[in-house]
Amino acid sequence: LVAGCLNGNAGIARAAMREMTTEETRAHGFGLMSLAYGVGFFLGTNIGGLLAQPAELVPSLLAGSLLDRFPYLLPCAIATSGGLLSLLLVLRQLRLELRQQRTRERGRGRSGSRAGRTGRDTDPLVEVGGASRGEGGEGGLRRPSPSPGHGAG
């Protein structure tokens, strides 16, 4: 259940990685993310296999227990615990990131530049034609064109 609820987070993790890194460190961050996925897939399957059917490994301790009746409960419970721990750590980190962003904004004031660690001078999405204010125009949101020195050259 928990893995299914958290299944779509790969895209969100990539978006968060993009927002939390500079252009100089972005490739390194995404490389570490790929490494973490690979190590997780390798270690997770091996650890799950080792923890399956624990009553057969230690029958004197676990004979007739819940783990004897449900031989795959232990690896599933550990995987669920890992997913929940990951969720809590991500929520904590994102909360800290939001707090730091608010502190930076207060330091600059509301009218100051919005350039942060990403090096952008504007929000990632900007309004076009006043569509959100009901004034017609082009409507919708668009990505800003890169400012000089930040775009592909």
Report CA-CA distances (Å) from 80 to 45, 48, 67, 83, 84.
14, 12, 16, 5, 6
pLDDT tens string, the chain, 153 residues long: the values are: 666 666 677 788 888 888 888 999 999 999 999 998 899 889 989 999 999 999 999 989 988 899 999 999 999 999 889 888 988 988 898 888 888 888 888 888 755 444 444 444 444 444 444 444 444 444 444 445 555 555 544
Interatomic CA distance for residues 134 and 120, integer angstroms: 27
Task: Identify the pLDDT of residue 29.
Answer: 92
Amino acid symbol at 144: P
pTM, full prediction = 0.53
